[in-house]
Chain A
């Protein structure tokens, strides 16, 4: 076998049904074409999981992928990707996590772990260099995520073990479940924890004594150091490194509760190999949550908690720990409870429906009780697990209180999807935001995600800085100052940001760390290309990388197209509703909109042109797919009769 640089060079196939494991060498052509992590995952998922596969059936698969920059000193190469068909949305499910698992998996010698089938009894996978085994997890079933990690480390007598695991929420196949790694980190989006539960897979533990080789060590190290030094000069560096996402996305938290955040703050923490240390250790020093301590919470707690009438960071810390232990995706209960509170306030539900809980805004005990109920699908909690399905159960017009994108309502309040959610809502929770933010959130292949706020964060930078950048990048100093205009530059920017983020996901680099410098002099395509070439020894040009990201995003869009996603699903919710039902949403005030449907359509058309999608359906065109070497995909789409003419 030839030597691998950057990549570890091996795929681990796990068959839970027959309790069989096999190692498979990575093909160099595959690696060059799909780069890693989400790229590998999207390809495997497209090939193996068709529309006929139900998300919670044994035929669905779990893919855990690391990228070629993972485990190195490349700025923040600590991420792993988790893919499956999502039980929540029924389309492509993909989530990303940081911490230490991704690198550890590579040090154990694997780029990709593919888990198929269903175990008869609860099991966990132990990956340690060449030794990989499926072990009994009967004693771990029912335990929370933190206990599970301790028990596995104890059982295998090794505190260096990194684990991905589900809590009770995943075991109960909740739509709000996530996969937790370390104690305070999670791959939360798209409910992949439920897939783990459906397969009786409690955890994946990894520890490796191998290493990652670099093709051009000297060049690589110099580049890494230069990038880290450059990032330190970023105007937002100090805020980002101390407050993390709280200083980034959440104006509520950072601007209004800065003193409280400072009181909770103990120290900064970092993911593996990351100089940005955007995570933090919080402990509550006084009040009723005194003694609560743990890593994180993220900034979007700010916007979401406002929906349930909470602004207290101490509560957020408590809530965050509870979610992490139960394996619940932190966004979901906030959004679902805000929905229930609004229903309660409007008299659509009463205490009889809520198991006797008083659902008034700011009722902290009720919120924490409901999080537990959601994780165990108990009583009212079963309805809140996924509000869309809950509304179907409940009826009484409760569905009119839900906004969603591609059937995911957990971010209904944030980043511009419309429909006022929760009585406590702040501006962010009710408004629809600007056109650009909405475009980014709506065209996203997975769901309206929290990274959707990304183009908006640029506005935190000084104006001069952004003008200079606009001139450099788009030859238009005002490029970043017309977020509601139908100017094609908005589509172009969303397209660029999507590409650079997809590249981060494929290489194993961190979006947050790369993104915060993307628009400055930080990590951008040239640097990525140089990093990748030095690490892997394969000559990647910036164009090659853009091609790879386009290929990956086309695959994702093709996967979704096969599941029935069309142009109408790429609209922010109020427009989606308008187009679907031919009438305005009864609870949305269209006069508050900062942009018109016509303008949105123009920018969406432009985005489709850039992405190579059919303007009518949003499905990738034959020409585009074939120019990226995806002839088999066009065949498949044609066979299913959905290839655009």
Chain B
């Protein structure tokens, strides 16, 4: 059964413990940039949004990858990279992700991809106020997701926010040498 990480964005305190634990899980170090979770914030409005791979049904990253290194497991719904094929550095997948959820490891050149910690996502486990839920991708949960998305758009977040995020990704993921 396909499962997703559902976040109750309204309550997120922006503590980034999910970011830290994720980076620790993947690299055994603490870092904001070496994590599959990033928290986007709009400080004036007190909005914090943890962003992680949504494992989209029709992933943009999968469509644009020039070497077809990205695939989606139909059974689990997990979208993953094949590093035997990946060019490690073209960053096309990063730039098309509408959530800005992907980032590159500056050390290995690989994408920090969320594999939902193979069924036990650490972000959901450590969230101190328990707002990250690892749950079945049921229609009810998805409609909740639509609600928050609409609300964000209404608050004028949506597009500008992801634009901001892209700018950040381009900057912090090593573009300054390009």
Contacts and interface: CB of A to CB of B under 8 A. Distances in A.
Interface string B24-43: 10011111111000001101
B172 interface: yes
Interface string A98-124: 000001100100000000000000000
B159 to A, nearest CB: 14
Given A107-B31, A214-B28, A209 B13 contact: no
Contacts of B17: 73, 273-275
B2 interface: no
A602 B21 CA distance: 50
B118 interface: no
A225 to B, nearest CB: 8
A266 B11 CA distance: 9
B114 interface: no
Interface stretch (A155-163, A188-196, A402-410, A540-548): A155-163
B148 to A, nearest CB: 14
Nearest to A78: B15
Nearest to B128: A275
B23 interface: yes
Given A211-B30, A273-B16, A217 B171 contact: no
B75 interface: no
A439 to B, nearest CB: 35
A270 B31 contact: no
A271 interface: yes
Nearest to A218: B28
Given A158-B167, A210-B31, A269 B172 contact: no
Given A267-B11, A277-B129, A104 B28 contact: no
B128 A228 contact: yes
A294 B77 CA distance: 39
A428 B122 CA distance: 46
B167 A272 contact: no
B66 interface: no
A270 B13 contact: yes
B28 to A, nearest CB: 5
B10 interface: yes
Contacts of B139: none
B27 A211 contact: yes
A111 to B, nearest CB: 15
Contacts of B59: none
Contacts of B45: 293
B67 to A, nearest CB: 26
Contacts of B16: 272-273
Given A160-B32, A207-B172, 5 more contacts: A211-B27, A212-B31, A214-B30, A267-B11, A294-B44
Interface of B: 10-11, 13-17, 20-21, 23-24, 27-34, 40-41, 43-46, 48, 106, 126, 128-129, 164-165, 167-168, 170-172
18 contacts: A71-B30, A73-B21, A157-B167, A217-B28, A267-B46, A270-B13, A270-B14, A270-B15, A271-B15, A272-B15, A273-B16, A273-B17, A275-B128, A276-B128, A277-B128, A281-B46, A293-B46, A295-B43
